[in-house]
Amino acid sequence: MSGLSLLLRAARAAFPAGARQIRTGGLRSAYAKELFLGKLEKEEVFPYPEISNEELEEINQFVGPVEKFFSEEVDSKKIDQDAKIPPETLKGLKNLGLFGMQIPEEYGGLGLSNTMYARLGEIISLDGSVAVTLAAHQAIGLKGILIAGTDEQKAKYLPKLASGEHIAAFCLTEPGSGSDAASIQTRATMSEDGKSFLLNGSKIWISNGGLADIFTVFARTEIVDKDGAKKDKITALIVERAFGGVTNGKPEDKLGIRGSNTCEVHFENTKVPVENVIGEIGGGFKVAMNILNSGRFSMGSASAGMIKKLIEMTAEYACTRKQFNKKLSDFGLIQEKFTLLAVKAYVMESMAYLTAGMMDRPGVPDCSIEAAMVKVFSSEGAWICVSEALQVLGGLGYMKDYPYERYLRDSRILLIFEGTNEILRMYIALTGMQYAGKILTGKIKEMKKGNVGVAMEIFVNKFRDSMGRKVDLGLIGENGVAHPSLEESSKKLEENIYYFGTTVEGLLRRFGKTIVDEQLVLKRVADVSINVYAMTAAISRASRSIGIGLRNHDHEVLLTNIFCTEAYFKNNYAMAELEKYAAENLDDSIKKVAQQVLEKRAYICSHPLERTF
Amino acid sequence: MNCVRKLLLARELSARRGILRQAALGRDLPWLQGSSCAQCFWPVPVRSIRSSTALSRSELVPSAREDKEKDRGSRDGFLVPFDELFERAHEGDRNKAAFSRAVELFCQRDIRRRGHVEFINAALRKMPEFGVERELDVYNKILDVFPKEVFVPRNYIQRMFNHYPRQQECGIHVLEQMENYGIMPNKQTKFLLLQIFGEKSHPVRKYQRLMYWFPKFKHVNPYPVPAALPRDPVDLARISLQRIAADLSAKVTVYQMPLTDISDAGKEITQPHIVGTQSPDQQELLACHNPARPVFVEGPFPLWLKKTCVYYYVLRGEPLPPEEKEEVIDSERNFYYPMHLDLDLDRDLWDDEEFYVDDVVEGPIFAMCMAGAGDQATLAKWILGLQQTNPILSQTPVVFHLTPGPRERELQAASDSESGEEEIPQSWHAKQEL
């Protein structure tokens, strides 16, 4: 195995370092943000990002052995039952270099681009426990060192982390703190000589907590700010288990991803040298946000990989099992499920690789909204797909003898970790709103002041919209970037984007900065933007496929058209709701019901058999 | 059974009013043709019934005059015989059994149930005395005193006019008293009323109205007071505090149990109960309170639980000065999404659903308590107990703003107030109850 890995690394080194970069202009990525203004930045997403032939060849060289390893040497059933990944499996993963996929080669990693990382993620996701162990190690655990560490820190820690000799863990969550930085209790106190910190506190639900040797810990430190006042701020620290005082609880028993190690980690007077601060002292908040934002995009390809595998397994069953002298695959309701699986997998894949491609562009593209969109879409899609696949299998899917129920349990975590989908929806909507608000404030203020010119402009626009405006954002037609066979879908996308822009403007006019409290509104905004991004990704990818004549591109056109049509209607419904006031779109009633239930903390209806006389 | 009873009644009536029978014979109405049993078994009394009903109309005027006389009579002590009936019935206690005995006595005394309206009125008056004013079966028993079938109108003219108005009114009285005590009639009540007054009579209408509204009102109070309040002052305080606090997380603590003891010196020591409540939110508020500013113990404030009044005390702070009120959201608060937008736009008029209310700014309330005594020493013990869960309280000055509550006034009048509650004797009054 290690020989193979060496070979792979050698092959990897043969290619020039710059080759993996996709060279398409140095623009800051702002596709998703521009959507909130009703604009389609087609240069950002068209053409669909590609990798060079060399890179493709290179990644395929990785894919083969990894796939073989996962199909032959990873016993997912045993991992799930024993709630432990056997040491030999871990060793195999290390030998393949999978512990250092994104660590640059100079530190002994594979130095994969985001796109290539996503590609491997597809295969790794075939076992949820392994995928989570690897992700906790490199997507968040060592990411801090990678993106904000000093050269010394990198040189000191990355080589061992890349080889898998050391495993990393990310310690943010505490019993009293999920996403609230203010309630972090772990404290790092600077020693008198100013050379080290004493770390005290407990972290819970730490993936790899029991295996890890290197922890990225977020702790509260006292900072003296400019005007001399003392203030508590979050600092990110690299903590080695060898520093002493690090203990962990027993592994938690979980619903899914049972093989991954999740436990409490306690720090008791752990002495951490000042050199181990990631970023600057008191700058831990930014570090945490950057790590969290950068780790999400890979979930798209991982979910897609899992669904593709599921399609293979369930299709096999559906095409062989007979009922009433008919194969299951001949029933419309079963066919519908396979279409759903294919559409979701296609769109997820398109979004994931589009985002990865955007992130691989030179410069420092900020794709955090897109990554969050990918995470929300793919995690929910995965959950639905696994459940539908289970439905195809009927009772069989429910049995522990078969792997399907494990997929269901494993995929449930996707909606929860790395920021719950609810939180990410807030992030998507609020970040977009903030961007659009900055630009639109002037215009809206003018209108509110009673500037006749601006008001007339808005009125005329509204009037033209209501008369059935033809929206043309340049996807189709002369200089069009989408393939003409996707004209209908492209038109739908354009229309959605245009009206999304007007909806956002209307919302800003109505709620202004108080929109942060309108979570039901924000949820719809996020949903529309996610759908729009998904439509874009699908159209872009399908256009490319037709353009270069990939195999089965007509199938892709079908999938794209199905998805775009469905998403178009969902978007229109959501936007119609957004234009209404709270009393009309049920928001008031929804809140009222919740309030009444929560006041009593119970279901409050009388029993149907109850009587009053 | 029914027809036998009918026949007995018919006989009674015909006997009473036989003198006028001749005059009425010509105006028979075939009212009983549907009631086959009566007709085929006993043709002769049927006729007498006919005549009697007919007669009842002709008697309307004299009977009304008689009513007036009787009313006057009741004021002059005419009803004494019925009161005597109740006096006689309760040899031992005044209870339900005694009351039932009285009703039975009346029913047995006279098969014709003569004077039943007066008896029923007297019985209704006597009910609270016997403590049966909330007993449904007693009401049914009282209704059962009415002779059956006699007052049922038999033709459209009777139905049009107020048939046996005094009896109907009396029936309504019974139902009204039930209404005032919040007693919901049951199937038997309906059956009796139909038997006595017939469909669409005034008492039946009254019954229908009761049955329309009572179920609707039954659960109209979202914060129902238990039917029987606990006798123990500590339990009562617990219920009351839970009721005011209205927060499921709030914890009720008994700081001191009531105790009466005789010391060695032979002096009686009484230790009043202290029960307090505090929710986690209140605890947090108190923790954030600036210890330089005093907190106040105020009270007593009354709380009515049905007919019982209890008093509570609050620990509160002054309203915050406006400069401290504004909460600044740290931009580095949420790892995942921005908590506020940096925009210069406010909420539009149409989405502003907050309407103007005359806001009176009040200080935060940190805790509440009920105690067996309202003196400062007792309440200081409460504060002492609170300090264990709220350490900041030991650094904060506590000011007692106590007004002499009714209990203190009562104490001066040397009356017993150990129970911490006060029974207000309320004379029964219909409108007040509902």
Tens of pLDDT, residue by residue over A399-428, are 999 999 999 999 999 999 888 999 999 999
| Angle (nearest 5°) at CA A79 between A108 and A399 | 140
What single string gives the DSSP state of each residue in B300-343?
EEEEEETTEEEEEEEEEEPPPPHHHHPPPPPTTSBSSS-SS---
- B256 in the same domain as B125: no
Q: Do domains A168-286 and A462-588 have the same CATH topology?
A: no
Residue A540 CA to residue A350 CA, distance in Å, equals 8
Closest alpha carbon to A299 in A220, A241, A352, A246: A352
Residue A502 CA to residue A575 CA, distance in Å, equals 10
Q: pLDDT by residue (tens digit) across B204-261?
A: 999 999 999 999 998 898 888 988 899 998 999 999 999 998 888 999 999 988 888 7
Q: Which residues of A touch B339 (CB under 8 A)?
A: 516
**Nearest chain A Cα to B216, which residue?**
A612
Contacts across the A-B interface (CB distance below 8 Å):
102
Q: Is B335 on the interface with A (CB under 8 A)?
A: yes
Burial A296-313 (b: 16+ CB within 10 A, else e): bbbbbbbbbbbbbbbbeb
**What is the sign, positive or negative, of the torsion defined by CA atoms of A567, A571, A572, A577?**
positive
Alpha carbons within 13 A on the beta-carbon side of A489: 30
| Orientation of helix B116-130 relative to helix B136-143, angle to 10° | 170
CATH of domain A31-163: 1.10.540.10
Cβ separation of B351 and A581 shorter than 8 Å?
A: yes
Cβ separation of A179 and B334 shorter than 8 Å?
A: yes
**Nearest chain A Cα to B332, which residue?**
A285
3-state secondary structure A35-82: HCCCCCCHHHHCCCCCCCHHHHHHHHHHHHHHHHHHHHCCCHHHHHHH
Q: Which residues of B touch A172 (CB under 8 A)?
A: 335
Place of tokens 């995928």: A131
According to DSSP, residue B251 is labeled E
Q: Is A595 on the interface with B (CB under 8 A)?
A: no
Specify if B328 maps to a domain: no
**Nearest chain A Cα to B210, which residue?**
A613
Structure tokens at B138: 């007693």
Q: Which residues of B touch A233 (CB under 8 A)?
A: 332
Specify if B187 maps to a domain: yes
Q: pLDDT by residue (tens digit) across A122-147?
A: 999 999 999 999 999 999 999 999 99
Q: Which residues of B touch A280 (CB under 8 A)?
A: none
Inter-CA distances, A246 with A84, A235, A243, A277, Å: 21, 18, 8, 17
Cβ separation of A445 and B334 shorter than 8 Å?
A: no
**What's the fold here for domain A462-588?**
Butyryl-CoA Dehydrogenase, subunit A; domain 3 (1.20.140)
Phi, psi of B94 (to 5 degrees): -90, 100
Give me the interface pTM, i.e. the ipTM: 0.82
Inter-CA distances, A182 with A105, A187, A228, A341, B364, Å: 38, 12, 21, 42, 23
Closest alpha carbon to A132 in A306, A339, A342: A306
Q: What is the predicted pLDDT for the residue at B65?
A: 44
Place of tokens 């979202």: B222
Q: Are strands A168-171 and A214-224 parallel, antiparallel or unpaired?
A: parallel
Interface test with B, best of A511, A591, A598 (most B CBs within 10 A): A511
Interface test with B, best of A516, A523, A611 (most B CBs within 10 A): A516
The minimal CB distance from A431 to the residues B219, B338, B348 is found for B338
Cβ under 8 Å to B: A residues 347-366? none
Cβ separation of B333 and A180 shorter than 8 Å?
A: yes
Q: Are strands B251-256 and B274-278 parallel, antiparallel or unpaired?
A: antiparallel
Cβ separation of B219 and A612 shorter than 8 Å?
A: yes
- Rounded to the nearest angstrom, the minimum Cα separation between A600 and chain B is 8
Cβ separation of A292 and B335 shorter than 8 Å?
A: yes
Q: Report how far Cα A78 is from the mean position of its chain's Cα atoms.
A: 28
Domain with B159 in it = 82-218
- B251 in the same domain as B205: no
Q: Three-state DSSP class for B274?
A: strand
CATH of domain A289-421: 1.20.140.10
- B300 in the same domain as B381: yes
Cβ separation of A437 and B336 shorter than 8 Å?
A: no
The minimal CB distance from B347 to the residues A234, A444, A511 is found for A511
Q: Are B254 and B275 in contact (CB under 8 A)?
A: yes
The minimal CB distance from B350 to the residues A285, A510, A601 is found for A510
What single string gives the DSSP state of each residue in B121-147?
HHHHHHHHHHT-TT-HHHHHHHHTTSP
Q: Are A511 and A505 in contact (CB under 8 A)?
A: no
Q: Which of A485-499, B299-313, B314-328 has the lowest mean pLDDT?
A: B314-328
Specify if B1 maps to a domain: no
Q: Are A560 and A599 in contact (CB under 8 A)?
A: no
Q: Report how far Cα B252 is from the mean position of its chain's Cα atoms.
A: 28
Cβ separation of B348 and A512 shorter than 8 Å?
A: yes
Cβ separation of A510 and B211 shorter than 8 Å?
A: no
Instruction: Say yes or no to pLDDT of B342 above 90.
Output: no
Alpha carbons within 13 A on the beta-carbon side of A358: 30
Burial A315-324 (b: 16+ CB within 10 A, else e): bebbeebeee
Q: Is A180 on the interface with B (CB under 8 A)?
A: yes
Q: Which residues of chain A have pLDDT under 70?
A: 1-29
Q: Is A442 on the interface with B (CB under 8 A)?
A: no
Residue A179 CA to residue B373 CA, distance in Å, equals 48
Domain boundaries, chain A: 31-163, 168-286, 289-421, 462-588
According to DSSP, residue A177 is labeled B
**Nearest chain A Cα to B211, which residue?**
A613
- B282 in the same domain as B249: yes
**Helix (H) / strand (E) containing A383:** helix A368-393
Cβ-proximal residues to A417 (8 Å cutoff; 6+ apart), any chain: none
Place of tokens 């914890």: B251
- B396 in the same domain as B260: yes
Q: Which residues of A touch B348 (CB under 8 A)?
A: 509-512
Q: Are B190 and B207 in contact (CB under 8 A)?
A: yes
Cβ under 8 Å to A: B residues 175-204? 184, 186
Specify if B27 maps to a domain: no
Place of tokens 């309906």: B190
Instruction: Say yes or no to pLDDT of B104 above 50.
Output: yes
Q: How confident is the model at residue B23 (pLDDT cuts 50, 70, 90)?
A: very low
Residue A314 CA to residue A304 CA, distance in Å, equals 15
- B268 in the same domain as B379: yes
Q: Are strands A187-190 and A196-207 parallel, antiparallel or unpaired?
A: antiparallel
Q: What is the predicted pLDDT for the residue at A35?
A: 94
Cβ separation of B343 and A581 shorter than 8 Å?
A: no
- Rounded to the nearest angstrom, the minimum Cα separation between A506 and chain B is 10
Q: E strands, A403-491, where?
A: none
Phi, psi of A571 (to 5 degrees): -65, -45
Structure tokens at A71: 């199909």
Q: Is B330 on the interface with A (CB under 8 A)?
A: yes
Q: How many domains is chain B built from?
A: 2
What single string gives the DSSP state of each residue in A251-275?
PPP-SS-TTS-EEEEEEEEEEEEGG
Residue A575 CA to residue A577 CA, distance in Å, equals 5
Q: Tell me the mean pLDDT in the region B376-397.
A: 90
According to DSSP, residue A135 is labeled I
- B372 in the same domain as B239: yes
According to DSSP, residue B28 is labeled -
**Nearest chain A Cα to B349, which residue?**
A510
Neighbours of B410 (CB within 10 A): 13
Q: pLDDT by residue (tens digit) across A522-567?
A: 999 999 999 999 999 999 999 999 999 999 999 999 999 999 999 9
Closest alpha carbon to A41 in A444, A372, A464, A358: A358
- Rounded to the nearest angstrom, the minimum Cα separation between A419 and chain B is 7
**Helix (H) / strand (E) containing A326:** strand A326-327
Q: What is the predicted pLDDT for the residue at B416?
A: 44
What residues of A are labeled active site? 418
Q: What is the predicted pLDDT for the residue at A21?
A: 40
Cβ separation of B184 and A613 shorter than 8 Å?
A: yes
Cβ under 8 Å to A: B residues 339-358? 339-348, 350-351, 353
- Rounded to the nearest angstrom, the minimum Cα separation between A440 and chain B is 10
**Nearest chain A Cα to B346, which residue?**
A512
- Rounded to the nearest angstrom, the minimum Cα separation between A439 and chain B is 10
One-letter amino acid at B46 equals V
Instruction: Say yes or no to pLDDT of B13 above 60.
Output: no
- B385 in the same domain as B255: yes
Interface test with A, best of B184, B249, B337, B353 (most A CBs within 10 A): B337
Specify if B118 maps to a domain: yes
Q: What is the predicted pLDDT for the residue at B37?
A: 39
Q: Is B249 on the interface with A (CB under 8 A)?
A: no
Place of tokens 């209790």: A185
Alpha carbons within 13 A on the beta-carbon side of B99: 24
Q: pLDDT by residue (tens digit) across A440-466?
A: 998 888 888 878 888 888 888 888 888
- B190 in the same domain as B99: yes
- B168 in the same domain as B93: yes
Specify if B254 maps to a domain: yes
**What's the fold here for domain A168-286?**
Butyryl-CoA Dehydrogenase, subunit A; domain 2 (2.40.110)
Q: Which residues of A touch B211 (CB under 8 A)?
A: 613
Q: Is B280 on the interface with A (CB under 8 A)?
A: no
- B373 in the same domain as B250: yes
- B278 in the same domain as B243: yes
Structure tokens at A405: 């129920």
Neighbours of B282 (CB within 10 A): 21
**Nearest chain A Cα to B212, which residue?**
A613
Q: pLDDT by residue (tens digit) across B390-414?
A: 999 999 999 998 888 766 666 666 5
Specify if B314 maps to a domain: yes
Q: Which of B165, B184, B218 is the last residue of a domain?
A: B218
Q: Which residues of A touch B187 (CB under 8 A)?
A: none
Cβ separation of A423 and B218 shorter than 8 Å?
A: no
The minimal CB distance from A441 to the residues B216, B343, B347 is found for B343
Q: Which residues of B touch A444 (CB under 8 A)?
A: 345
Neighbours of B228 (CB within 10 A): 7
Cβ separation of B341 and A233 shorter than 8 Å?
A: no
Cβ separation of B345 and A182 shorter than 8 Å?
A: no
Residue B331 CA to residue B213 CA, distance in Å, equals 56
The burial of B355, by beta-carbon neighbours within 10 Å (0-12 exposed, 13-18 middle, 19 or more buried), is given as exposed
